[in-house]
């Protein structure tokens, strides 16, 4: 190969999942993509992708070329980004993944501002209800809220975020204000399925005392905004992030239950594939993102 173009081309096919989807990304016809792939395979004297009517299957050689070649392309891009950075210019594409609600409210404005200040940087934001189940290697930065299981990804702290049990004044008038976590098992609760967690098991602590309760839930939704509105309507108690309910607590639409009992924090972090060697655009965006939550995040201001 004479340059990185062939590797980029093959990686686009892999990330797209089909030759038709790859053709749209590349701005080529499907037949042109097929011809270029065949030319690449002839150049290397090996088959890289097995094409069937339903899907593409990469051969071991094709997978190896994408994996190791991808690392080389990343280093290549980082080198030229650094060179261009010396002239004060950031270039390239940033791919960012974030949770639906938090991404809409807090990440999307930061991205728009960063791109406006760096017009040669293209940014693709993907919102998901389960960011860590996505294909992580397709993203440069993944914004995550809560605990992180064992991972090769590098975590960067962004902002503190507690979790509160809340309910509306009408709910409390109807069911009473629980004095202990156990009393939550007797009232309707609403849960948010996320991050493959056991969402109906709520854990509490007070000093050295720990308590876990299994709540009863007839309402659930994978959109946090929906369950928050349900709670404001008095339909159940919720366990929700501080960033999401802070406005409702201040306005009185929601009231915090069991304030002397603590639930596990769900701090906001950003994940990258490495701590060093990141492209200049990624480093600058990470600094810009961290600064957006200083000196204190909006939900604690």
pTM, rounded to two decimals = 0.73
**Cα–Cα dist 223/43, whole Å:** 49
pLDDT in the model for residue 150:
58
Taking only the tens place, the pLDDT of each residue in 34-77 is 898 999 889 888 899 887 756 788 899 888 888 888 888 877 77
Taking only the tens place, the pLDDT of each residue in 106-145 is 999 999 999 999 998 999 999 987 656 555 667 899 999 9
Q: Are 255 and 234 in contact (CB under 8 A)?
A: no
User: Where do the domains of the chain lie, and which CATH numbers do they carry?
Assistant: 5-82 (1.10.10.10), 90-161+267-300 (3.40.190.10), 163-257 (3.40.190.10)
pLDDT band at 86 (very low <50, low <70, confident <90, very high): low
Q: Which residue has the tokens 């065949």?
A: 38
User: Greatest CA separation found in the chain?
Assistant: 75
216: closest CA among 168, 175, 173? 175
Taking only the tens place, the pLDDT of each residue in 263-283 is 999 999 999 988 777 888 899
**Cα–Cα dist 83/279, whole Å:** 11
């Amino acid at each position: 190969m004479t340059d990185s173009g062939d590797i980029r081309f093959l990686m686009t096919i892999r990330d797209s999942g089909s030759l038709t989807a790859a053709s749209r990304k590349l701005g080529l016809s499907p037949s042109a993509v097929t011809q270029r792939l065949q030319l690449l395979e002839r150049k290397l004297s090996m088959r890289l992708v097995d094409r069937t009517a339903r899907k593409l299957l990469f051969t071991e050689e094709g997978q190896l070329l994408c994996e190791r070649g991808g690392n080389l392309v990343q280093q290549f891009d980082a080198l030229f980004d650094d060179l261009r950075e010396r002239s004060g210019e950031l270039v390239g594409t940033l791919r960012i993944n974030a949770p639906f609600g938090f991404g809409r409210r807090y990440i999307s404005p930061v991205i728009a501002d960063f791109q406006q200040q760096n017009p040669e940087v293209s940014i693709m934001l993907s919102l998901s209800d389960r960011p860590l189940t996505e294909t992580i290697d397709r993203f440069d930065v993944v914004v995550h809220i809560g605990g992180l299981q064992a991972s090769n990804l590098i975590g960067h702290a962004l902002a503190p975020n507690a979790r509160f049990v809340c309910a509306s004044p009408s709910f409390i008038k109807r069911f009473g204000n629980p004095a202990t976590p156990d009393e939550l098992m007797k009232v309707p609760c609403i849960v948010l399925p996320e991050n493959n967690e056991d969402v109906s098991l709520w854990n509490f602590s007070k000093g050295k005392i720990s308590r876990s309760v299994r709540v009863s839930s007839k309402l659930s939704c994978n959109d946090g905004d929906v369950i928050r509105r349900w709670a404001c309507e008095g339909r159940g108690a919720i366990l929700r992030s501080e960033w999401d309910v802070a406005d409702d607590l201040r306005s009185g639409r929601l009231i915090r239950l069991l304030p002397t009992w603590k639930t596990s924090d769900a701090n906001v972090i950003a994940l990258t594939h490495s701590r060093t060697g990141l492209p200049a655009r990624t480093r600058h965006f990470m600094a810009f993102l961290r600064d957006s939550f200083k000196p204190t995040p909006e939900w604690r201001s």
